[in-house]
Structure 1
Amino acid sequence: MATQYRCLDNGRRALARDTLVDGKPVVNGIDALEVLDQEEPDLALRQRTLVVLFFHAIPELDRGRVRIEGGVRIAPVNVDWAVRADRLTAGQVNPPVQAYIDALGAAVGKERLLVVRTDVRGDFSAYRLVIERRTTDEPAFDPLLSAIDFSFKVECPSEFDCRPINECPPTTRGAPTIDYLARDYASFRRLMLDRLAVTMPGWQERNPADVGVAIVETLAYAADHLSYYQDAAATEAYLGAARRRTSIRRHARLLDYPMHDGANARAWVALEVAAGSDADGGVLPGPDAAPDSGHPGATLLTQIPAPRGSLALTDQELNRAVADGALVFETLHDVTLHASRNELYFHTWGDERCCLPKAATSAALLRQGRDARVADGELKPGDVLIFEEVRGPDTGQAADLDPTHRHAVRLTEVTFGVDPLNPADPTTPLEIIEIAWDAADALPFPLCLWTVADAGAAQVPVAVARGNVVLADHGRTIVGEPLVPPTPERPYRPRLAFGPLTRQGRARDAAGSLLLDAQGEPAVVNLAGPAADATRWEMRDVLPAAFLLDPNGDAWRPQPDLLASDRFARDFVAETEDDGRTALRFGDGVSGARPIGGLVAAYRIGNGRAGNIGAESLAHVVNGPAGITGARNPLPAAGGEDPESADQVRLYAPQAFRTQERAVTEADYAAMAERHAEVQRAAADRRWTGSWYTMFVTVDRRGTRAGSPARSSDRAFRAEIGNFLQRYRLAGHDLEIARPIYVSLDIALTVCVAPGYVRANVRQALNRIFSSTNLPDGTRGFFHPDNFTFGQPVYLSQIIAAAMQAPGVSWIDVDDAPPKPNRFRRWGKPSQGELAAGYIPMGWLEIARLDNDPNRPENGKIEFIMQGGL
């Protein structure tokens, strides 16, 4: 095997050519090789003829001693023949090639030339021609020079030099051993000192005052910060690893999951004013009609060591009270105060032991209140009253009252009238006020209205109504806080000085659309909606209670994000971290305008469940009108919600996209309709209506039936469902809300009454069991509307089982063989074998109905033929 060297000077070739012994060469070898290409007129033979030049004359060589190695795509390349140039026969090569060989032979001697013909031309890779050495050769072939590397494509156009470059590259050092786990100052310092000890072994200084050590420590300090930055960036880049609340919020937003930062609490506050005082007839202000002014609502304070009512406090005293644990609430709207509304009494029309039943939506009040008479206009629709039990109905003692029997209602109707029967003065009609409120504010409990004798034997009411009610929410207003000016080098992220930033819910109307205030911004409260809605909102509608003013007087308003903000929108995003500090993020001139500086912030602080104070917690109106003698919240504050935790977001955000927010198929429309709180079931049917498709959605409303007296608002309800489905509707499809098809039933059963039971009592019990209303014990009657829905059959076995639960029932006979009058069928339809089948089937849009109303037998009836008993 020949030793492989790469040398800058090929001295061996000169030795092989020039070394002679007794005038004869010692060794022979290959001096050069030429591939004939352009010289060959026959295209098929081009690059297949090789001319090999030796240092000295060569013996007779044949194809067996010539071998061609190498090649990539074309291999092997075989030798057809190999002949010394002076032994070529006529016709073995073409004349131009023969002429070229003759000319070359004349210059160097034909005895030194070997002509080789291959079977194919090679590819562009390197090949090697090898001469097989034999001991009989004279002179012998040199072991190193008996082979030569060449290329068949040497004459192909190329911009590179064909001469191989033999270089001896310098010695390179191996890669240094580096501890890639070094991530802090100490480990980086140690790493660099260890490396310098290898590369600069003569430098042994480790004194901190040394310049080299100082440079190392400076670099370690910078590397420590860079490492922290890299770790932080890598950590915050993924939802599962992010630690900063802002990062988690942005990741969740990309998944269409709005992470919320909590919401503040709200409370209904009942005020009392002294008759004839400045507060009587005065207005307790809410926030300024133009929120940009920064004027907050009236300040309310939880109990501190001071009398209830209006309280004069300086800013320092208020700060001290807050530092001691008092919570601040502020009114959300104006309220006109009247002494006549301090405490109002119910009118029972001369009846005794009356009760305002559960789900009531109307009542009557005496016009004469505790402190004054209610004048015209002092009680009107839109005002809020709080019904309150002030004494135990059994004992008459205030200590025995039920604190849960308090309820706020917003009046929808107020009618001033008289009761001609006045037991105190028959000659003078009794002035009364008839009031009504929305079904959404229906009384959630029965309220006793009778009077009891107090310690002085005077008759005092068990329950009263409180006027002068205002809605207040948790949070204290901070105004006039200048923000740091922006710098061109860094993104503008000013921080608010105080926290936590208040987040307020926004109001929606009955159709589910956001209400707008006078400035076109989402309204905080719906002053025309039910009182129950004042403490309910969707967390996706919550926005920070903050705004900014620039030097031009233009207001900057908060948004959940800047994705929908154009380059002119003066919007910002308030991003709160877990420590309660809030940074403001502005636009970049594309998504949201870029601020120029000079911004002044007005915002509120106070948020979360800390504001869910109990009843009777609020006690003071700070710097309110003189004459306010009392302030209290009869009901606990509600709605306060803490910021959503990072763990909860990591759990829910990846699944948010699975929540379907569009309706395409019939099943989609039915599912979307069932999201409405008042819809029990829904069914949808797509029909071609001549020019386009119309989706007919049929809904089964909870609790009542279309066409019944309780469903006088059926048209409004269907319009509400239509508006509710608009956000999910597929473009190009019309939408119609249809009524269900109610199937009235006609049932007659023979009942055997057990001995000792009165048939009338048993019949009454059966009528109660098979009623369509809620029973006194809280259960539903068998044919209550919520017990049946679309396509649900009515099984005879269930009816028999329910009837057997009635006291005094021995057995039930359902045989309809003549002359027995038993029936089990649809109303007004002949029997279709339902009794034999054991059930009455329903179509997919049909709902069974049986009201058992003698005035409307067409709505279904059930008859009991009583036998036996008394």
Structure 2
Amino acid sequence: MGERYVCKSERRRQLVAASTDFNGIDYLEVLDAEATGLGVERQKTLWVHFFKELPDTLNADNVLIEGGVRLKDVGVVWAYRLDRIPVGEDGGAWVGEQARPDAKEWLVVRTDSVGDFSTYTLVLRRSVAETVPPDGFDVLLSRVDFTFKVECPSEFDCAPAKAGPPPPGADPQIDYLTRDFSSFRRLMLDRLSQVSPQWQERNAADLGVALVEVMAYAADYLSYYQDAAATEAYLGTARKRTSVRRHAKLLDYPMHDGCNSRAWVCVEAMEGADGFELKGPTETTPGTLFLTTTNPGPRVLDASQLTVAVSEGAEVFESLHDARLHWKHSEMRFYTWGEDKCCLPEGSTTATLLNEDNVLKDLAVGQVLLFEEVRGATTGRPEDADPSRRHPVRLTGVTFTEDPLLGKQVVDISWDTEDALPFELCLWDVEVPVDVATLSASAPALLVQSTTGTPGMLSGVTGPGPLLLTGGGGEGPPPGNKAPVSVARGNVVLVDHGRTLSGEELADVPEEGRYRPRLKRGPLTQAGRTTGGRKSVDLKASAAAAMRWSMEDVLPAIWLAEKDGGRVWTPRRTLLNSGRFSRELVAEVEEDGRARLRFGDNVMGERPSAVDTLLATYRIGNGTAGNVGAESISRLYHATGGDWRNAVLRVRNPLPATGGVEPESLAQVRINAPQAFRVQQRAVTEADYSEVAQRHPEVQRAVGSLRWTGSWHTMFVTVDRKGGRPVDATFSGTLASFLERFRLAGYDIRIEGPVFVPLDIVMTVCVQPGFLASNVKAALLEVFSSRDLPDGRRGFFHPDNFTFGEPVYLSRIVAAAMAVPGVAWVDTEESKDKPNHFKRWGQVSRDEWKEGLITMDRLEIARLDNDPSQPENGKLDFQMQGGL
């Protein structure tokens, strides 16, 4: 998970050292070379120094060693305060050390093994059953990281290697459009240039050009009506969207009608405004309405003001879940345990919030918080805040605790790795300058103390309460007036684009024949769904998952009910899977966004009865119109306003709305649908299973193997997962569910991981004059690493660079090594007087260096991690000659 904070000061250590009630670990030493003089084993004795005198009751039960890669269970044989070590222990080797004046500040720990090269953590605990620190020991300074191999020789800096940036995304598709009107216009103008060469006017305002365009318009419609029946019969010539959709369906291509967008909205409550509920959608009512800014107006709209705002062009969004407002959740401060200059590092999944007077008691798992940089990290001005440093997370853990050292109530929060922080967030406080010209409308009213001592009201600034600033003269706040650079915001609501229209009465149902009623308004909203029903968002998933869905999950937002409150019809993509009693419908959207409704025929789907009067409830608003920018949503609707106007301080969307997609054009369908018909949607042979498994976004390569398992055939799918991630039980279940739609009846599916082949490579490298051999070796190890490099490149042995059956060529390795600055030549020859190797790890050489490659079988993948703690995953070394 990594560090919680990266701090540039040691204030916590200073506070513990100065405290009379708390003790803590100062540092830890591993007894290595000096152990020989004392007559004890090397790397098995740990000296732990504390700030103050230790109680003499500490023993092995109070010490726990965690971590490790190869050796994880490092046990504690004994642990004594230095002056309490029994005389007979280690033959009395400690008698001389016990005379030290600070012997009571040292804890000596003896382990049962020397560990590996990874980082371990020594933890001080109350007992074997209680993992909390002993009484009187600080929470943070009761554990310390260390390594048993600290005195092992190394040529490099101990700083951790930096990871490279993520790979770039795929380029968007290009939209190709065609128009018949332009061809008629060009034909008429070309004809006129022949019969009347003296007329050369082409200005759109000219009467002759206007007449040409009118006739081209009429010709376009005449040609359509003349060939309507014939053109709609073929995909290549059909012009109506409904016709193209049905043709594409015959080719197993699901044409989509776009999708609405989603956004995160923060509702900041007035002081003391608790308990106000934002309602989510139900089967009969929409969620709370939020609107974008058009003209200046109130934050909370009533019914008449809503009508005006919609007429002015405001985009309407509706909440997707219930939410309760808490005014203390509007802005929550991070807690850094007394440290300053702290940052929440990139990739963080935990943090701590300050909980003074238990104001965050309503914080719970499942709520969404939005982290935001609100001021410049150096200037303290709101306008200098980086708007890209805003990120939502859904809480998966909320623990109320305290900092006994400083006497502060705090809340430890955590969130899913999918919501990991994508940037570094600064958490320190800065001096806030007062600039009246840039004060926001939501700032409190300011009382400015004049030089004569008479307070005066600053005009043009309104708010819920006064803030007294002494000093006067407009020179800013007095020293010590600080505010946080970044805050966490609660009261976050997920909204999606679209406004609900209720109770539209459809045309009467005829006794016989087709029933195709048309909706009066459009465009019909198409909403992505993950849980079905009106509630189209999974509140248990991460915040990132709430903004991610597939176009296959998008359905029209429409529901039909009988006028007397009886049966309900729900939307589907097709009626081919509907039973004769299924009350389902298909909404076929035309180019103007309005939809016609298609019902079943009592064979596939139920047909409404002629005595039924259907009422339609549907939403309008779709496509990229809902992809509004950040800070665009600023108002919400309440039927009467009332107390809501005194409860809501501000409504805003810190992040832009995303996900809005325009309906697929007819030209795109004509291009894509014939190709979709040629895509295999069933897996029969081994190659078929390999191909369909590679459609999963986490699979780089797959190989199918059909075997008879005694009772039936089983298809074993061996998977090379992207990034070298393991093929564990969770991923195997996910991939098996993905392959289920392609599986041949009567065949079982089993998911297997690849057979990794570790490599053992040693080469001799001659360094050019003027280059440090250690620097050149460090560059070589970086080039041949298995990670993403800081400059965006991949290491030579990155897991995604090799797959099943792909050999490792010696020539490519030599070429990559020669490209490193400072390398004069590389020797790979294997002989008795040379240490070079080019072979599989743990196996004898088969003269692979002569062949120039190490071959792999069909289920084998080359691997070389060069991890000293796990040499069985491959190792690499360079024998350096020459240089400095």
Asked if these proteins are the same fold (TM beyond 0.5), I'd say yes
Contact conserved, 1:308 with 1:629, CA < 8 A, in 2?
no
Give the partner amino acid of 1:499. G
Residue 702 (structure 2) pairs with residue 685 (structure 1): no
2:403 and 2:790 map into 1 onto residues whose CA distance is: 31
Structure 1 range deviating more: 778-787 or 632-641 = 778-787
Distance between the aligned counterparts of 2:519 and 2:706, measured in 1? 54
Q: 1:269 aligns with which of 265, 269, 272?
A: 265
Structure 1 partner of 2:422: 444
Partner of 1:326: 314
Query: Residues of 2 paired with 1:541 and 1:705: CA distance?
Result: 28
In the TM superposition, 1:749-764 aligns within 5 A as 749-764=763-778
How far apart in 2 are the matches of 1:350 and 1:804? 51
Q: Is residue 2:524 matched to residue 1:528?
A: no
Offset from partner CA, 1:266-290 (integer Å, 9 cap, x none): 111112112321xx233211102xx
Instruction: Report the TM-score, using the length of structure 1 for normalisation.
Output: 0.66
Matching residue of 1:666: 686
Measure how far apart 1:575 and its partner are: 1.9
2:398 aligns to what? 414
Of 556, 569, 583, 1:556 maps to: 569
Give 1:556 deviation, angstroms. Answer: 1.2
Q: Are 1:462 and 2:447 an aligned pair?
A: no
Contact 1:340 1:373 in 2 (8 A): no
Q: 1:226 to 1:835 in 2, by over 3 A?
A: closer
Which residue among 483, 486, 489 is the counterpart of 2:506? 483
CA pair 494-764 structure 1, distance change in 2 beyond 3 A? same
| Offset of residue 380 of structure 1 | 2.6
Please say if residues 390 and 464 of structure 1, whose CA atoms lie closer than 8 Å, have aligned partners that are also in contact.
yes
Alpha-carbon separation, structure 2, partners of 1:489 and 1:530: 50
CA distance in 1, matches of 2:232, 2:723: 50
The equivalent of 2:654 in structure 1 is: 634
Q: Which amino acid aligns with 2:586?
A: V
**Are 2:575 and 2:605, in contact at CA under 8 Å, matched by a contact in 1?**
yes
Q: Which residue of 1 aligns with 2:409?
A: 431
Q: For 1:345, what is the secondary structure of its paired residue?
A: coil
Are the structure 2 counterparts of residues 406 and 227 from structure 1 closer, same or farther at C-alpha, using a change threshold of 3 Å?
closer
AA aligned opposite 1:444: P
1:552 is displaced (CA, Å) by: 4.8
1:283 maps to what in 2? Answer: 277
Amino acid at match of 2:507: V
Query: For 1:451 and 1:650, how far apart are their aligned partners in 2?
Result: 58
CA distance in 1, matches of 2:338, 2:781: 33
State the partner residue of 1:384. Answer: 368
Q: 1:814 to 1:385 in 2, by over 3 A?
A: same
2:324 equivalent among 312, 331, 336:
336
Q: Higher RCO, 1 or 2 (CA under 8 Å, sep at least 6)? A: 2
Are 2:648 and 1:647 equivalent residues in the alignment?
Answer: no
**1:294-334 deviation per Cα after TM superposition (whole angstroms, max 9, x unaligned):** x110000111434664x1322x3312211111111000111
Q: Give the distance between the partners of 1:702 and 1:391, measured in 2 at CA.
A: 39
Question: What are structure 1's unaligned runs of at least 5 residues?
Answer: 1-224, 508-514
Structure 2 equivalent of residue 800 of structure 1: 814
Q: Deviations over 1:19-57 (max 9, x none)?
A: xxxxxxxxxxxxxxxxxxxxxxxxxxxxxxxxxxxxxxx
Return the match for 1:607 from 622, 625, 647: 622
Q: How far 1:228 sits from its partner (Å)? A: 9.6
Letter in 2 for 1:539: M
1:392, CA displacement in angstroms? 3.7
Are the structure 2 counterparts of residues 248 and 782 from structure 1 closer, same or farther at C-alpha, using a change threshold of 3 Å?
same
Distance, in Å, in 2 between the alignment partners of 1:357 and 1:669 is 41
CA contact under 8 A between 2:335 and 2:354: conserved in structure 1?
no
Whole-angstrom CA distance in 2 between matches of 1:352 and 1:781: 37
**How far apart are the structure 1 equivalents of 2:853 and 2:700?**
23
1:404 to 388, 393, 397: 388
* Structure 2 residue 381 is the aligned partner of structure 1 residue 375: no
Deviation digits for residues 429-475 of structure 1 (CA, Å, limit 9, x no counterpart): x4333333333333333434444433245443333222211110111
Q: Which amino acid aligns with 2:496?
A: D
Alignment of 1:366 with 2:353, yes or no, is yes
Given that 1:340 and 1:368 are in contact with CA atoms closer than 8 Å, whether structure 2 keeps it comes out as: no
Asked whether 1:232 is paired with 2:219, we answer no
Identity score, percent: 56
Is the CA contact (8 Å cut-off) linking 1:365 and 1:433 kept in structure 2? yes
Residue 39 of structure 1 corresponds to none
**2:745 equivalent in structure 1:** 731
Q: Is the 8 A contact 2:763 2:836 kept in 1?
A: yes
Shift of 1:351: 5.0
User: 5+ residue gaps in structure 2?
Assistant: 1-220, 434-476
Per-residue deviation, 1:493: 2.2
Distance in 1 (CA, whole Å) between partners of 2:391 and 2:365 is 17
Q: TM-score, normalised by structure 2?
A: 0.65
Is this contact kept in 2: 1:264–1:474, CA < 8 A?
A: yes
Query: 2:557 is matched with which residue?
Result: 545
Match for residue 605 of structure 2? 592
Aligned to 2:692, what secondary structure does the other structure show? Answer: helix
Cα distance change on mapping 1:792 and 1:522 into 2, 3 Å:
farther
Q: CA deviation at 1:352?
A: 4.8
Select which of 840, 851, 856 maps to 1:842.
856
Is the Cα–Cα contact under 8 Å of residues 308 and 631 in structure 1 kept in the other structure? no
Does the CA-based 8 Å contact 1:364-1:432 persist in structure 2? no
Distance change >3 Å, CA 797–CA 420, structure 1 → 2: farther
The answer to whether the 8 Å contact 2:231/2:239 transfers is yes
Q: For residues 323 and 374 of structure 2, what CA distance do their matches in structure 1 show?
A: 24
Cα distance in 2 for partners of 1:387, 1:600 equals 43
Deviation at 1:230, TM superposition (A): 7.9
Contact (CA 8 Å) 2:358, 2:409: kept in 1 or not?
no
- CA deviation string 1:76-134 (max 9, x = no partner): xxxxxxxxxxxxxxxxxxxxxxxxxxxxxxxxxxxxxxxxxxxxxxxxxxxxxxxxxxx
- Tell me if 1:786 matches 2:770: no
- 1:302 counterpart letter in structure 2: T
Q: Is the 8 A contact 1:308 1:619 kept in 2?
A: no
In the TM superposition, residue 806 of structure 1 has moved relative to its aligned partner by: 3.6
Q: Structure 1 residues 759, 281: closer, same or farther in 2, change over 3 A?
A: farther
Distance 1:652 1:276, change over 3 A: same
- 1:731 & 1:611 partners in 2: Cα distance? 44
C-alpha contact (below 8 Å) 2:265/2:493 kept by paired residues: yes
1:865 matches 2:852: no
Q: Distance in 2 between matches of 1:864 and 1:351?
A: 43
Q: Give the C-alpha shift of residue 387 in structure 1.
A: 2.3
Q: Is contact 2:349-2:417 (8 Å) kept?
A: no
Aligned residue number for residue 206 of structure 2:
none
C-alpha deviation, 1:620, in angstroms: 0.8
Task: Give the direction of change, closer, same or farther, for the CA distance of 1:805–1:454 in structure 2 (3 Å limit).
Answer: farther
- Partner amino acid, structure 1, of 2:549: W
- How far off is 1:373 after superposition? 4.6
Distance 1:474 1:683, change over 3 A: same
Question: Aligned match of 1:720 in 729, 734, 750?
Answer: 734
Q: Which residue of 1 aligns with 2:580?
A: 567
| Paired letter, 2:291 | L
Q: What amino acid is the match of 1:802?
A: A
Question: Is the Cα–Cα contact under 8 Å of residues 718 and 737 in structure 1 kept in the other structure?
Answer: yes
CA shift for structure 1 position 741 = 0.7
How far does residue 569 in structure 1 lie from its aligned partner after superposition?
1.7
Q: Which digits, 9 at most, give the CA deviation of each residue in 1:242-282, with x for residues without a partner? A: 222222222222222222111111111112112321xx233
Q: 1:486 to 1:268 in 2, by over 3 A?
A: same
Q: Residue 298 of structure 1 corresponds to which residue in structure 2? A: 288
SS of residue matched to 2:328: helix
- Would you say how many aligned residue pairs link Structure 1 and Structure 2? 611
SS in 2 for 1:727: helix
2:751 and 2:535 mapped to 1: Cα distance?
A: 30
